[in-house]
Structure 1
Amino acid sequence: MYVREAGNAHAPPILLLHGGGVAGWMWRPTLERLATKARVIVPDLPGHGRSAEEAYRSHETTAGALARVLEERAPHGAMVAGFSLGAQLTILLAAARPDLVTSAVVVSAQAKPLRFPRATLGLLAATAPLARQRWFAKLQAKQLFIPDELLADYVRDSARTSRETLLAGVGENIRFTLPAGWADFKNPALVMVGERERKLMHASARHIHDSLPGSRMISVPRCGHGIPLQRPDLFAQTLADRM
């Protein structure tokens, strides 16, 4: 798994986990705004970006690999902030390895499984080849709030994402349920959801928040499913305030 570090080597560490279908480059606006305030650890998850050669298998195996990254690079723990699929991984890490997660920021995580996942995955399998088409990738980029300066990164990585990674990642995402250990996480936790996201995402955010006593939840105005890219100033400041 490709891992990049940026920022101040002597500052508190933050592990940033991107969503499905993108890669570590999605955090570039966040990194620019954090500047020297943090030491930021940014992996490309399996099957994505510079880790595209190794297909995504499961949340469980990926969370285990991320725990090893933290053991090596931040053995005393780090803030973990994740978006969408990465937010689900943040929850799993906090539940399984609270010793490595000093605080958790969960952004736009689905935590209510879809009722008919097979139908969704069947449609995805049929349309998967379109992801390699530039015109289709550009349409998807608009739905994901990819800014113009990151569009080339998205189009490039969309073309290299395998059908196996796409189906595994989406399958894990739409079936995700909260692990038992989440309710026992003792460190600070913030749940974020965009004001304009689907009802399912708002219900998920409420469920994540209600399941962890002491957590905070905020709805971010003027945002859909893309808080870090739609409002990078607010997101970076939110992380800085929790350091």
Structure 2
Amino acid sequence: MIGRLDWDRDGADWPNRQASRFMRAAGLRWHVQEAGRGPNILLLHGTGAATHSWRALLGLLATHGRVLAPDLPGHGFTDVPQPGRMSLPAMSHLLGGLLDRLEFTPDVVVGHSAGAAIAARMCLDGLIRPRALFSLNGALMPIAGHASLVFPAAARVLAQTRVVPWIFSLHASNRDLVSRMLGNTGSRLDDAELVHYRRLLRNPGHVSAALQMMAHWDLAALAADLPRLDVPVTLVVGSNDRMIPPGDADKLRAILPQARKVTLDGLGHLAHEEQPATVAAVIAAFLADLRAPQAVVVA
């Protein structure tokens, strides 16, 4: 088995460690973080990240509701599923098993990048029925052009080559390289955020899981089903996102008439880490309406 992260060693200074716990569900041992009380808010991070991605946002949202943030299967400190269970539908059902085990029914789902795709798939498959879905630079549309064929095929080759994650993890020891990689997202992160990305990318087990996820991803099937999505969607878009074209949000609004778009000027793909208070304010506005007492109409 490819080496995995160790909680005692690699998680000693993990963001929001006091909110962390481990539990078994759907055949996996999961790392989850939970904080706050009120409406249930589910946070789903993107490919290659983990709960550290919510370092500041988790606490901000916990003042408005009960927040649950898991490490996705194979990511961070959560177990790797059996082979073939890193596809979008399979990961969605694994998460559904986790929510059932926790008896956690999301009122609001916040998904970043691939996390937004998982959230949408869970809604479409009847695993959850939230009152709102917030897509933070969501990866909901297929990659355009020739890359849509080349990228998954390349990921499959790399995922099947056991030495690749080890080689990548060795290169990730170079701080400047990781800094440039994250800079290519269009976001500017501080050193405290870089530390945890470097830790994840230096771990061959985490890298292998991210490659497996990319190798089995099928956004074309999701896009074909999106017109059936009947959950109110807010597309939060960083105008400087270099990973997901900001113009994808306009294409999505043509598919999802109920969707609204919120543009964050100057922010990149990791906008929720650059300016967590700005992103929290967008979500909190909806949560305030959710918590407000309903007017009683007297006949």
> 1:99 Cα deviation (Å)?
4.5
- Partner of residue 139 from structure 1, selected from 173, 180, 204: 180
> 1:91 Cα deviation (Å)?
1.4
1:210 corresponds in structure 2 to 254
Over residues 30-60 of structure 1, what are the superposed CA-to-partner deviations in whole Å (9 max), with x where a residue is unaligned?
0232242221111101121002544772111
Matches within 5 A, 1:78-227: 78-97=107-126, 99-110=128-139, 111-114=141-144, 115-117=146-148, 119-120=150-151, 121-122=153-154, 125=158, 128=165, 129-133=167-171, 134-135=173-174, 136-144=177-185, 145=187, 146-162=189-205, 164-173=208-217, 175-177=218-220, 178-198=222-242, 201-227=245-271
Following the alignment from structure 1 to structure 2, what is the Cα–Cα distance between the partners of residues 29 and 101? 23
1:7 corresponds in structure 2 to 35
Bigger-Rg structure (1/2): 2
User: What secondary structure is seen at the aligned counterpart in 2 of 1:139?
Assistant: helix
Following the alignment from structure 2 to structure 1, what is the Cα–Cα distance between the partners of residues 72 and 198? 17
- Output the TM-score relative to the length of structure 2: 0.70
User: What secondary structure is seen at the aligned counterpart in 2 of 1:101?
Assistant: coil
- Output the TM-score relative to the length of structure 1: 0.85
Equivalent position amino acid for 1:237 in 2: A
Over residues 113-132 of structure 1, what are the superposed CA-to-partner deviations in whole Å (9 max), with x where a residue is unaligned?
34234543538839752244
User: What secondary structure is seen at the aligned counterpart in 2 of 1:106?
Assistant: strand
Equivalent position amino acid for 1:122 in 2: A
Runs (5+) with no aligned partner, structure 1: none
Asked which structure has the greater RCO (Cα within 8 Å, sep 6+), the reply is 1
Following the alignment from structure 1 to structure 2, what is the Cα–Cα distance between the partners of residues 242 and 14? 12
- Partner of residue 43 from structure 2, selected from 16, 20, 23: 16
Tell me, yes or no, if structure 1 residue 28 matches structure 2 residue 55.
Answer: yes
- Partner of residue 61 from structure 1, selected from 68, 74, 90: 90
CA contact (8 A) 2:244 2:269 kept: no
CA contact (8 A) 1:2 1:43 kept: yes
Moved over 4 A (4+): 52-56
CA contact (8 A) 1:95 1:180 kept: no
How many corresponding residue pairs?
241
What is the percent sequence identity of the aligned residues? Answer: 22
Q: Larger % of helix: which? A: 1
Runs (5+) with no aligned partner, structure 2: 1-28, 288-299
- Partner of residue 240 from structure 1, selected from 267, 284, 292: 284
Over residues 134-172 of structure 1, what are the superposed CA-to-partner deviations in whole Å (9 max), with x where a residue is unaligned?
113343243354432122221111122445423222234
